[in-house]
Structure 1
């Protein structure tokens, strides 16, 4: 019985990797530390979106409270359909910058 336990421990030791994995299965060695840093204008409690229309995308820094705004939630659903949620960096949403500005004004 002791031999079986030793064998099992050896098997587990050879299967374990020296790399640490994050919750999404990406090893810490694969993550670029610079990519994890937030820009200085993104304060705690905020996130970045890109309003993407035919023209150049426009960047917005929003408070987390917008995640419960009904019109913004519709934009998030559209973003999921169009771009998926495997985006890296800022969240792209399919709308004109003027439309997002209107949503931001209406909430204030």
Structure 2
């Protein structure tokens, strides 16, 4: 499993759901501790600019490819 990232239908304690991907959004579970990371906060700001506070997938939608998000989550989990 990549650091800070899980691909699971259920969200475990200490995680929250996000959707990332360009064409097909994939649900992923992210460690809550990543919320305090400046790089992750920048993604949240971009999500706010692109989607506002309306996220039709039912969870937070991140405006980047799944690979870019997985790489970022890995790097943040490894800090």
| TM-score, normalised relative to structure 2 | 0.75
* Bigger relative contact order (CA 8 A; separation at least 6): 2
Greater Rg, structure 1 or structure 2? Answer: 1
Give the Cα–Cα distance (whole angstroms) in 1 for the partners of residues 26 and 11 of structure 2: 15
Structure 2 match to 1:42: 11
Q: Choose between structure 1 and 2: higher strand proportion.
A: 2
| TM-score, normalised relative to structure 1 | 0.57
**For residues 48-74 of structure 1, what are the alpha-carbon distances to aligned partners after superposition, in whole Å with 9 as ceiling and x for unaligned?**
000132x21121101100101121111
List structure 1 runs of 4+ shifted beyond 6 angstroms: none
Q: Choose between structure 1 and 2: higher helix proportion.
A: 1
Q: CA RMSD in A?
A: 1.8
Which is further off, 75-84 or 43-52? 43-52
